[in-house]
């Protein structure tokens, strides 16, 4: 009799058991007072597999449990053969929980909102962008020319479409052809938030990057690495690998630098923003690690906001003749993470210094109050 009862229960529970293998539920919890709009959330792929082992990577959808609409997603590899994370872009109101589920189905096309590439046709540039802003940095081919520059460059835009390829093809990207332009000057500075060793109170610039590696390329996050040859940083031999990623909807890139250097266990480094000769508005919040700059207006070209957020303790923030600088410290062969980026008033979203500094403060608070993800 017991055997008959057990067999009967097994067959009764079998549909539920099979169903649990063909769906996964996700909850994204926002415990803060911050509205989270267009947030790109990473969900560990192994965790998803543990709840949905039969998932078909080419035939599944992520559904909002309330609206029943699809949520755009990306499979993040981080340069590895296997999937590392499921990336989704969501809005989560303050003090609420967003419920989603994954099931079999044909996903809708996802709009490309981030893009990055090596640009050999323009002296080894490396450029990256999202639906808000664009950036570039410089490679070996531009060294020892009158165009050489050390820092990050900003390409402002007022479209959510990708513009990098179009602008390089046109060649005259210093002119606004309707969607923005490059009027940002970098020169021999850190530009829009690059980092360099700071030895004996002097910035020790590296040469430009020598190797690159694209790890992921959209549609919601693009990530790449830049590798720098060994250089002499005030008597210290230093090598660097910079891993940069940009999420859809964000004005700021995430920068993870790993410095390898001889003898010393730690080394001071500086993040810098070039300062213009004319009067602009500067924000220095050492305790929060926030540097902000609302540049002087460039006549008909508009106004650029630039900002950096350090996630490690700041030793000092100050302004010299050329740059706005924040000093922190790195350990040998250990990654250091910070965020840096820009905005443009002609894009129509952030139009003055108050809004730009509010954005930087809000971004900093988001980093300290991450969304909580659970899968079942």
| Secondary structure of residue 6 in the 3-state scheme | helix
Distances (CA, A) of 359 to 192, 230, 291: 16, 36, 12
Residue 321 phi, psi dihedral angles, 5° rounding: -65, -35
Distances (CA, A) of 241 to 168, 217, 271, 333, 369: 26, 19, 16, 10, 28
Task: Check if the beta carbon of residue 155 is closer than 8 Å to that of residue 180.
Answer: yes
CATH number of 114-368: 2.70.98
Mean of pLDDT values over 80-108: 98
Average pLDDT across the chain, whole number: 94
Decide if 24-106 and 114-368 have a common fold.
Answer: no
Q: pLDDT for 140-157, tens place per residue? A: 999 999 999 999 999 999
Domain ranges of the chain: 24-106, 114-368
Tokens of 369: 């109050």
Percent of the chain with pLDDT over 90: 91
Cis bond before residue 219 (omega within 30° of 0): yes
Q: pLDDT for 269-281, tens place per residue? A: 999 999 999 999 9
Q: What is the pLDDT of residue 22?
A: 82
Residue 9 has pLDDT above 80, yes or no: no
Q: What is the pLDDT of residue 171?
A: 87
Distance CA 189, CA 275 (A): 9
Distances (CA, A) of 168 to 158, 174, 181, 214, 341: 17, 11, 11, 19, 21
Mean of pLDDT values over 314-326: 97
> Please, which pLDDT band fits residue 222 given cuts at 50, 70 and 90?
very high
Tokens of 126: 């490396």
Q: The whole model's pTM is what?
A: 0.93
114-119, strands of its sheet edge to edge: 114-119, 125-130, 134-137, 153-157, 180-181
Tokens of 74: 């990306």
Residue 167 phi, psi dihedral angles, 5° rounding: -70, -40
Q: Is the backbone of residue 268 left (phi > 0), alpha (psi -120 to 50) or beta?
A: beta
Tokens of 362: 């809000």
The domain covering 24-106 belongs, at the CATH homologous superfamily level, to Golgi alpha-mannosidase II (2.60.40.1180)
Sequence-distant (6+) residues with CB within 8 A of 18 are none
Mean of pLDDT values over 10-32: 70
Residue 293 phi, psi dihedral angles, 5° rounding: -145, 125
> How, if at all, do strands 85-92 and 73-76 pair?
antiparallel
User: 13-30: b or e for each residue (b if 16 or more CB lie within 10 Å)?
Assistant: eeeeeeeeeebbbbebeb
Residue 6 has pLDDT above 60, yes or no: no
């Amino acid at each position: 009799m017991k055997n008959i009862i057990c067999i009967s229960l097994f067959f009764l529970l079998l549909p539920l058991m099979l169903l649990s293998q063909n769906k996964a539920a996700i909850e994204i919890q926002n415990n803060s007072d911050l509205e989270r709009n267009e947030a790109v959330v990473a969900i560990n792929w192994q965790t998803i597999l543990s709840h949905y082992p039969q998932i078909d990577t080419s035939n599944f959808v992520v559904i909002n449990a309330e609206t029943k609409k699809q949520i755009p997603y990306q499979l993040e590899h981080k340069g590895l053969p296997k999937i590392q994370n499921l990336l989704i872009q969501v809005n989560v109101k303050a003090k609420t929980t967003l419920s989603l589920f994954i099931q079999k189905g044909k996903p809708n096309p996802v709009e490309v909102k981030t893009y990055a590439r090596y640009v050999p046709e323009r002296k080894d540039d490396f450029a990256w962008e999202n639906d808000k802003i664009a950036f570039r940095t410089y490679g070996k081919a531009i060294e020892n020319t009158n165009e050489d520059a050390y820092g990050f460059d900003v390409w402002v835009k007022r479209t959510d479409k990708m513009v990098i390829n179009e602008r390089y093809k046109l060649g005259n990207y210093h002119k606004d052809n309707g969607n923005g332009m490059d009027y940002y000057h970098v020169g021999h500075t850190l530009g829009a938030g690059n980092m360099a060793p700071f030895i004996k109170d002097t910035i020790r610039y590296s040469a430009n990057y020598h190797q690159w590696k694209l790890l992921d390329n959209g549609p919601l996050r693009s990530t790449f690495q830049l590798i720098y040859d060994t250089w002499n940083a005030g008597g210290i031999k230093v090598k660097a690998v910079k891993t940069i990623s940009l999420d859809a909807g964000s004005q700021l890139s995430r920068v993870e630098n790993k410095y390898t250097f001889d003898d010393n266990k730690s080394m001071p480094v500086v993040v810098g923003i070039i300062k213009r000769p004319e009067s602009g508005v500067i924000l220095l919040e050492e305790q929060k690690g926030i540097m902000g700059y609302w540049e002087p207006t460039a006549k008909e070209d508009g106004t650029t906001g630039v900002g950096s957020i350090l996630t490690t303790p700041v030793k000092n923030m100050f302004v010299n003749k050329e740059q706005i600088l924040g000093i922190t410290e790195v350990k040998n062969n250990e990654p250091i993470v910070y965020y840096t980026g820009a905005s443009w008033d002609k894009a129509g979203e952030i139009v003055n210094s108050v809004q730009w500094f509010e954005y930087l403060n809000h971004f900093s608070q988001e980093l300290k109050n991450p969304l909580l993800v659970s899968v079942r």
